[in-house]
Amino acid sequence: MTFLYLNKDTMGIGDHELGRKLLISYLRYLAVSDTKIDMIGCVNSGINLTTEDGEALDLLKVLESKGTRITSCGTCLDYHKKREQLRIGVVGTMSQTVDIMGKADKIIQL
């Protein structure tokens, strides 16, 4: 199983705007590639990808349609008061994250 761990709504460290562009580009290429991602886990500011309209959400929908399961951290959603804004996937728990990371053949973190 391949797990994509998105712990922020950008790619890399540095300028936020550039990091967001890089992440969108990554998701765009991933969405049209043959690379199989079994699950995407969004934590911390990564939950913005699953709670805010925009290109990132659209690309996550494409990945979901290809069979990728998407989860967002329940603690993070509650902390940022965004649980009701979740637009894709399901609410996950830390115990699920620990289990998935322990079983995954590959973990990708941007």
CATH code at 46? Answer: 3.40.1260.10
> What is the spatial distance between Cα 62 and Cα 94, in angstroms, rounded to a whole number?
25
Q: What is the mean pLDDT of residues 44-71?
A: 97
Mean of pLDDT values over 46-52: 97
Mean pLDDT, rounded, of the chain: 96
pTM to 2 decimal places: 0.94
Which residues touch 99 (CB under 8 Å, ≥6 apart)?
none
- In this prediction, residues 72-100 reach a mean pLDDT of 96
Report how many domains make up the chain: 1
The parent domain of residue 97 ranges over 2-109
Average pLDDT over residues 26-54: 97
Q: By percentage, how much of the chain surpasses pLDDT 90?
A: 99
Contact indicator for 24, 56 with CB cutoff of 8 Å: yes
Q: How does residue 74 score in pLDDT terms, banded at 50, 70 and 90?
A: very high
pLDDT value of residue 69? 98
